Amino acid sequence: MIDTSTNHAASYRPIGLSVRNGRLAWGETVLLKDFSFDVKPGSWTCLLGESGVGKSTLLRTIAGLIEPTGPTEILDHEGCALRDRVAYMAQQDLLLPWLSAIDNVMLGARLRGEAVDGDHARDILARTGVAERANARPAEMSGGERQRVALARTLMEECPIVLMDEPFSALDAITRTRLQDLAVNLLAHRTVLMVTHDPFEALRLADDVIILRGPVLDHVGSPNMPIVPPGTVPRDPTDPTLRDAHQAIMHALADPTVTEKTV
Amino acid sequence: MSFLRPIIVLGGLLAIWQTAVSAFEIAPFILPGPLSVISVAFERTDIIARHALVTLSEILLGLLFGTLFGSASALVMAYFRGARAWVLPVLVVSQAVPVFALAPVLVLWFGYGMAPKVAMATLIIYFPVTAAFYDGLRRTEVGWIDLARTMGASKAAILYHIRLPAALPAFSSGLRVAAAVAPIGAVVGEWVGSSAGLGYYMLLMNGRVQTAAMFAALFVLALMAVAIYFVIDRILRRLIDWQNELDPAVHD
Ligand SMILES: Nc1ncnc2c1ncn2[C@@H]1O[C@H](COP(=O)(O)OP(=O)(O)O)[C@@H](O)[C@H]1O
Ligand SMILES: [Mg+2]
């Protein structure tokens, strides 16, 4: 695959993400409290944690879909509000069944009443590998194709920050690996915060891994001893250091005392 | 083949009917055979067509107004929480009071012309359209709305680009029911008081013991009702062709 993402790099000034005094709650139930974390400009961070811990809630809060509770501040690395600079991709592809692939990719422009750029949309569909499906409806596409179109729609938004909530978890292993590689390629230079329940996925893709284990949040590893192995992403799944790191993360997820040592 | 099937069914029923009438020697003023009904229909094409046109106009106007009021009510209920509490009782009452009971009052108010019949048809259509469309508007996939909001869409844009198209299948099932019941409203209105329309003509022929002519009018009415349903169904299918792809019968 030709890497065309580099010629796009210039149009992005990478933006960091910073959450301060975080607090997640539904009514009286506090999911997570007193947490802060940063995502460096242009880096890829994965959020891990067991089901129901509040990963989606956190992501939706950052996306502006849920009003932040209490003192929570969500800012960019320069302390400005994020506003329209965030794109959001969910586990379901959320393609509109009455629109063709290309019309789904151009949905954002339509919704904002902007001029639609069909050529650009076609170009992005080509980069996600589904150019020939441009006029197909979602019902005619496979799960992998649909998620590729969803990725194209996310890219079309041209947002420097991309939030993804288990975007590949509904796919089979081979399709998932392909899409991970594709996403890493196409989202280079963007700041990515991705929720996953798969430690291995996190280790393949992330520059940084954060574990939610309510009511606390941990960075696994430390600046001196990062748990995420060095090297460029997507990492080779057969790399033995990946397996060691995987084990450490599984420990951290399962046993609350372990992370205190590793942080 | 899909055209042939109803014709075969209809033809079979007519054949059974004709045979029964001949075999049991039923008096023609009780139940005329299909052949005599058809011959009367051809003899009186002009007069039946004139009455049919009146009834057709009433049905179509009723469909138009019922759909307009119904859609407007559904939108108001979906978008203005305060208004919902006001519109909902109207909706329920419009369904709870039998329109047949209202017919004499409507004739009293609007006279013997088309107006009370259109009002009847409108009333009878209003509920299924409103209920179905409102339901459709409320059941929009939350993920779609979330996505649209992260894309910076206004409420109006979300309504136009997402909620409305997503509600179309529900709306169309309401409209299909409406298309099926609209003729009832018009004909009942004509029975209560009128000087034109198929309902009026049927009563008139009934009084004169011209049963075959009554049946001819009934047939034209049924034919019209089926045609209206068929046309509306066609338009709706064209409009929401994407829904057929989700049809369980297609995928199983
Ligand atoms: N809309 C909601 N209203 C109330 N509680 C919710 C809502 N959404 C999620 N929750 C609760 O918040 C908790 C975290 O949910 P979620 O963020 O979806 O977890 P995760 O994505 O980590 O699996 C769960 O216990 C869930 O029941
Ligand atoms: Mg979740």
Question: Could you tell me if A88 and A163 are in contact, meaning their C-beta atoms sit under 8 angstroms apart?
Answer: yes
pLDDT recorded at residue B153: 95
* Residue B139 to residue A80: CA distance in whole angstroms: 36
**Pairing mode, if any, of strands A161-165 and A86-89?**
parallel
Does A26 sit in the ligand 1 pocket, CB within 6 Å? Answer: yes
> A107 and B161 in contact by Cβ < 8 A?
yes
DSSP letters, B47-88, are: HHHHHHHHHHHHHHHHHHHHHHHHHHHHHHHHH-HHHHHHHH
Best of A23, A26, A47, A210 to mutate for ligand 1, by most ligand atoms within 8 A of CB? A26
Residue of B nearest to A161 (CA): B150
In percent, how much of chain B has pLDDT > 70? 96
pLDDT recorded at residue A5: 43
Q: What is the pTM of this model?
A: 0.85
For the segment B163-175, the average pLDDT, to the nearest whole number, is 95
> Residue B75 pLDDT > 90, yes or no?
yes
Closest ligand (CA of A167): 2
Does A248 sit in the ligand 1 pocket, CB within 6 Å? Answer: no
What residues does A48 pair with on adjacent strands?
A211
Task: Write out pLDDT tens, residues B187-198.
Answer: 988 988 888 999
> A88 and B150 in contact by Cβ < 8 A?
yes
Best of A46, A56, A66 to mutate for ligand 1, by most ligand atoms within 8 A of CB? A56
Set of chain A residues whose Cβ sits within 8 Å of the Cβ of B157: 110-113
Task: Write out pLDDT tens, residues B60-70.
Answer: 999 999 999 99
The helix (run of H) or strand (run of E) holding residue B165 is: helix B164-192
> B150 and A65 in contact by Cβ < 8 A?
yes
Residue of B nearest to A63 (CA): B150
**Pairing mode, if any, of strands A44-48 and A29-39?**
unpaired
The beta-carbon neighbor of B148 closest among A97, A98, A111 is A111
Question: Could you tell me if A77 and A83 are in contact, meaning their C-beta atoms sit under 8 angstroms apart?
Answer: no
Interface test with B, best of A85, A98, A156 (most B CBs within 10 A): A98
Set of chain A residues whose Cβ sits within 8 Å of the Cβ of B246: 97, 139
Does A61 sit in the ligand 1 pocket, CB within 6 Å? Answer: no
* Residue A211 to residue A44: CA distance in whole angstroms: 14
* pLDDT interval class at B89 (50, 70, 90): confident
pLDDT recorded at residue B84: 87
| Ligand 2 centroid to residue A23 C-alpha, Å | 17
For the segment B15-31, the average pLDDT, to the nearest whole number, is 90
Radius of gyration in angstroms for the set of CA atoms belonging to chain B, rounded to a whole number: 22
> Residue B71 pLDDT > 90, yes or no?
yes
Set of chain A residues whose Cβ sits within 8 Å of the Cβ of B245: 97, 137, 139-140
| Tens digits of pLDDT across chain A (263 residues) | 444 444 444 456 889 999 999 899 998 888 888 888 999 999 999 999 888 889 999 999 999 999 998 888 998 888 888 888 999 999 899 999 999 999 999 999 999 999 999 999 999 999 999 999 999 999 999 999 999 999 999 999 999 999 999 999 988 989 999 999 999 999 988 999 999 988 888 888 998 888 888 777 776 655 555 677 777 778 887 788 888 888 877 877 776 554 443 43
* Residue B107 to residue B67: CA distance in whole angstroms: 22
Query: A31: which 2 tokens?
Result: 């999911």
Interface test with A, best of B147, B164, B251 (most A CBs within 10 A): B147
Report how far apart, in Å, the C-alpha atoms of B233 and of each of A2, A87, B9, B213 are.
49, 39, 20, 30
What residues does A88 pair with on adjacent strands?
A163
> To 10 degrees, what angle do helices B211-239 and B45-79 make?
40
* ω into A234 cis (within 30 of 0): yes
Give residue ranges of A with CB < 8 Å to any B CB.
60, 63-65, 84, 86-88, 90, 92, 94, 96-98, 107-108, 110-113, 137, 139-140, 157
In ligand 1, the atom with minimum distance to the C-alpha of A57 is: 17
* Residue A30 to residue A214: CA distance in whole angstroms: 9
- Model ipTM value: 0.87
Report how far apart, in Å, the C-alpha atoms of A195 and of each of A215, B177, B233 are.
17, 45, 44
